[in-house]
Amino acid sequence: MPAELLTKNERTASPPILTSTSHEDELREWARKHVERVRRLKLHVAAFVLGMVVLTPIWALVEWQDNGGFKRFDFSDDGTPGDWEPWILYVALIWGLVVAIMALKAYFDRPATEMEIDREVKRLKSRG
């Protein structure tokens, strides 16, 4: 048994793990971040769906109570009785937009390839 594989207690240590190149490390780090972003996105999509499932009946009940029942389903600006305030639409649109931006980032953000870097360097050199 080689002496470098023995620990203080005369136990054998595991053989050293070979380290990978820096490019592989960068790629592995990007892949780890990508997996975390996708998991986070799934959590936010589930929260959005659950939130809308909870908020929509609350909105309907509040509007029903404020307006004396489902007499009219009108989104007018004058606020007369019987008109429904569309605040749930604002919540859904803004929250949905945030989740959509997170989805775009999770699925379209990727590391630059060597070919893209070379092409950009050539473009910058040709400019001046």
Whether 84 is in a domain gets the answer yes
In a domain, 34, yes or no: yes
Gap between the Cα atoms of 58 and 55, Å rounded: 5
Confirm whether 1 is domain-assigned.
no
Instruction: Say if residue 99's pLDDT is above 60.
Output: yes
- Determine, yes or no, domain membership for 127: no
Total tally of structural domains belonging to the chain? 1
Q: Which of 46-60, 85-99, 108-122 has the lowest mean pLDDT?
A: 108-122
Residue 78 lies in a domain: yes
Tell me whether residue 12 is in a domain: no
CB atoms under 10 Å from CB of 31, counted, come to 11
Asked whether the CA dihedral 75, 78, 82, 86 is positive or negative, the reply is positive
Say if 124 falls within a structural domain. no
**63 domain-assigned:** yes
Residue 94: domain span: 25-109
User: What are the backbone angles phi and psi of residue 112, rounded to the nearest 5°?
Assistant: -70, 140
pLDDT tens, 13-41? 555 554 557 878 888 888 899 899 999 99
Total Cβ atoms within 10 A of residue 11: 8
Is the model's pLDDT at 49 over the cut of 70?
A: yes
Rounded alpha-carbon distances, angstroms, from residue 104 to 41, 49, 51, 87, 109:
10, 18, 21, 26, 8
